[in-house]
Structure 1
Amino acid sequence: MALSFSASSYPLYVANNVNKHEKKPSVIRSPPSSSFALRSCSPPIKADHSINNSSEPQRICSQENTVGIIGGVSVLSTLIFLEKFVLWSSREERENIPFIVCSDPMVVKDAYKSSIAMSSASHELVSDSNDEEISAGLDRVRLVENLREKRMFLEGGGARCIVMPCHLSHAWYGEISQGCEQPFLHVAECVVKELKEARFRPLEVGSCVKVGVLASDATLVAGVYQEKLQDQGFEVVLPDKSTMENIINPAMISLKQKDMKGARNLLRIAIQVLLVKAVNTVIIASHDLQCLLPHDDPLVKKCIDPMDALARSAVRWAKSAKLHKRNLNSIPNY
């Protein structure tokens, strides 16, 4: 299935409803702020630019295996995740899994401010005034409330499972998922599950399996992956201060300056720094860094893209939910 996106001045939420009786995806609108929509390109659909004034979510997917996707802080990262999701869902059979996507660019602004505050805390920057701390707190509250509203919107629209393809957003997973009535997959738990299934052996005698994590300051400070890994017996190896200051952060700067070659070389060095510490694999918990290495680079085999694990877990859930319903429907009534 081909995917495209369209920008508009109002948020557009689109469901990929694969019900055989419904050829076109359902489209609804709601006022908050600018957003993007995904839809099947065959046949092309013109979005209705009327605004639905109702604040109540409309159930637009009735299938038991509908997946709701809260877009990340980057539209591109959301699109990449959807490509992974569609790819994994159609590998074994030609039946796409129904999904609803909700993405709001205002989340980017709030998430950026919150990440700056978290990064500042990691560097122990102290302000002479409480104004910045109060502002950061308000940004965080607004961000969490925004993401929670997106989650509830997806639930009201018919999503029976929620995923959030964004590393940084998982810093507030507990608050966003509070009160959620449907399964809400945590990206780190999905990664840990696959690591356990891989049955790695320690590379050093007398040591446990080591897993490296490369990410931005904010994601590392939030501990999105560390706690989940440690709870399952893995030893987490993080880049030290020197690596962050001299390799990771300069790689991020090179990316912003569109120096792809420089950023790619720095990333290779960062991965090697962790590999010499006897890690079995390296989790690259950054959408920007993840896209740097070409697929045929030998280091790619040593690394994990958490969004692959999240997409596979969502697909497994959807297929399991559909099979469960099929089995229930096959039970005869006496």
Structure 2
Amino acid sequence: MGTSASSSLRFLQKLVHWSTRDGEEAPPFLVCNDPLIKKELMSSQNSQLPSDCNTALGKLRLRRLLLEKSGVCCIAMPCNSLHAYHDEISQGCSVPSLHIGDCVVKELKSANLKPVEYGSNVRVGILSTDNTWNAKCYLNKLESQGFEVLLPDKASLEHTVLPAIGAFRRGDMEGARNLLRISLQVMFVRAVNTIILASDDFVGILPDDDPLLEKCIDPMDALVREAIMCARTDSLRP
């Protein structure tokens, strides 16, 4: 379930690719995508009327209910910003509603990146286009599990992160790559162990073999892996 066609497509491409690598069939899936709701949510953030946000969230809950009634085994939202409203959207859901932040935390722990309370002093960076909606869904989950979190400061956002995306959209690949690399290196200099790329806007800027990407996490990967696990677990039930 999503509000971005490109994000939904990227999720499905990964889902099909990874689930069929071992010769198995891809799990059956249903897609519900409505980009108009995203516009409504964005508008409601600047509105003084709580009813504007409630209307958009009500529409998302109706789409979630439609998926539930269709017999899905879990629901995934391949959109970072939607997870700021995950609790409101998933309230009363009869099947697992995957939270992208939970999926990332689960993989961090499985990779033996223990939080601060265990004495390893793991610092996780969150690189996003802002430090509010997209970053919030990871920040709360990581901090609740004891991880130390680092966000880019205002200067980095204004002078490297946002200009990198702007350059990419203009077709200036060299400029976009240089600026994004600077953004990542600034965070690594501040002793983060790994960086969560908390926005689809970063997809496609750096080549897949760029060494910096090896130290980063694409949250979509964690969400896809958890969805595949849910589907395969469900298929084993009598």
State the alpha-carbon separation in 2 of the partners of residues 103 and 88 from structure 1: 22
Q: Which amino acid aligns with 2:65?
A: M
State the alpha-carbon separation in 1 of the partners of residues 129 and 141 from structure 2: 18
2:104 to 156, 176, 191: 191
RMSD value, Cα = 2.1
Deviation at 1:296, TM superposition (A): 0.8
2:40 matched residue in structure 1: 110
State the alpha-carbon separation in 2 of the partners of residues 201 and 231 from structure 1: 13
Q: Does 1:82 align with 2:42?
A: no
Residues 214 and 282 in structure 1, CA contact (< 8 A), matched pair in contact too: yes
2:200 matched residue in structure 1: 287
Name the SS of the counterpart of 2:48 in structure 1.
Answer: helix
1:133 matched residue in structure 2: 48
Q: Does 1:99 align with 2:29?
A: yes
Q: Which amino acid aligns with 1:307?
A: M
Q: Which amino acid aligns with 1:94?
A: E
1:266 matched residue in structure 2: 179
Normalised TM-score (structure 1) = 0.66
State the alpha-carbon separation in 2 of the partners of residues 207 and 312 from structure 1: 26
Residues 124 and 192 in structure 2, CA contact (< 8 A), matched pair in contact too: yes
Q: Which has the higher strand share?
A: 1
State the alpha-carbon separation in 2 of the partners of residues 138 and 218 from structure 1: 25
1:310 to 223, 234, 237: 223
Deviation at 1:95, TM superposition (A): 1.5
Q: Does 1:225 align with 2:120?
A: no
Deviation at 1:222, TM superposition (A): 6.0
Residues 114 and 120 in structure 2, CA contact (< 8 A), matched pair in contact too: no
1:155 to 30, 55, 68: 68
Structure 1 residues 146-171: Cα deviation after superposition (integer angstroms, max 9, x where no partner): 21111111111111211100000001
Deviation at 1:286, TM superposition (A): 0.6
2:161 matched residue in structure 1: 248
1:166 matched residue in structure 2: 79
Residues 125 and 149 in structure 2, CA contact (< 8 A), matched pair in contact too: yes
Name the SS of the counterpart of 1:282 in structure 2.
Answer: strand
Residues 155 and 182 in structure 1, CA contact (< 8 A), matched pair in contact too: yes
Identify unmatched segments of 5+ residues in structure 2.
Answer: none
State the alpha-carbon separation in 2 of the partners of residues 139 and 93 from structure 1: 47
1:276 matched residue in structure 2: 189
Deviation at 1:111, TM superposition (A): 3.5
Residues 168 and 176 in structure 2, CA contact (< 8 A), matched pair in contact too: yes
Deviation at 1:142, TM superposition (A): 2.5
- TM-aligned CA distance change 1:146 to 1:291, over 3 Å: farther
State the alpha-carbon separation in 2 of the partners of residues 306 and 297 from structure 1: 18
- TM-aligned CA distance change 1:164 to 1:182, over 3 Å: same
Larger Rg: 1
- TM-aligned CA distance change 1:161 to 1:83, over 3 Å: same
Q: Which has the higher helix share?
A: 2
Q: Which amino acid aligns with 1:86?
A: V
Q: Does 1:216 align with 2:152?
A: no
Deviation at 1:221, TM superposition (A): 6.8
Name the SS of the counterpart of 1:211 in structure 2.
Answer: strand
**Runs ≥4 residues deviating over 3 A:** 218-222
Number of residue equivalences:
236
Calculate percent identity across the aligned residue pairs.
49
State the alpha-carbon separation in 2 of the partners of residues 201 and 158 from structure 1: 37
Q: Which amino acid aligns with 2:48?
A: E
Structure scoring higher RCO (CA < 8 A, sep ≥ 6) equals 2
1:7 matched residue in structure 2: none
Deviation at 1:93, TM superposition (A): 3.0
Which runs of structure 2 are paired with 1:2-17 in the superposition (5 Å)? none
Q: Which amino acid aligns with 2:22?
A: E
State the alpha-carbon separation in 2 of the partners of residues 108 and 256 from structure 1: 20
State the alpha-carbon separation in 1 of the partners of residues 114 and 4 from structure 2: 36
State the alpha-carbon separation in 2 of the partners of residues 288 and 261 from structure 1: 16
